[in-house]
Amino acid sequence: MSIFGLFVVYILIWWVTLFAVLPFGVVGQNEKGEFVKGSDPGAPTESKIKKKVIITTVIATVIWIAVSLIIANDLLSWDIIADFLNIDKLTES
């Protein structure tokens, strides 16, 4: 895989991980009892976005390393996936 391909895979993993990490530790204004006029009662009181970006980066890097090793060592191929799903292979005979 090219360096650009590895970069794209990392960015995709990072964004998916960010959306998985964002809801953790969110305390809404209605839960804390502190309301800001004009805002939604469920809006978070503190976003802690810097902490979540750091956590996302660590988790995404670990996942990316695992995926990169799987791709680089040919541990997963379309033939393996086809066998697992019981799909006829589309190779020439």
Answer yes or no: is pLDDT of 35 > 90. Answer: no
Burial 30-65 (b: 16+ CB within 10 A, else e): eeeeeeeeeeeeeebbeeeeeebeebbeebbeebbe
Let me know if residue 89 belongs to a domain: no
Boundaries of domain holding 12: 3-84
- Band the pLDDT of 67: cuts 50, 70, 90: very high
Answer yes or no: is pLDDT of 37 > 60. Answer: yes
Closest CA to 58 of 30, 17, 29: 17
Let me know if residue 93 belongs to a domain: no
What mean pLDDT do residues 69-78 have?
Answer: 84
Let me know if residue 41 belongs to a domain: yes
Q: Is the alpha carbon torsion for 29, 30, 36, 38 positive or negative?
A: positive
- Residue 51 token pair: 């902490």
Three-state SS at 39: coil
Let me know if residue 92 belongs to a domain: no
Let me know if residue 90 belongs to a domain: no
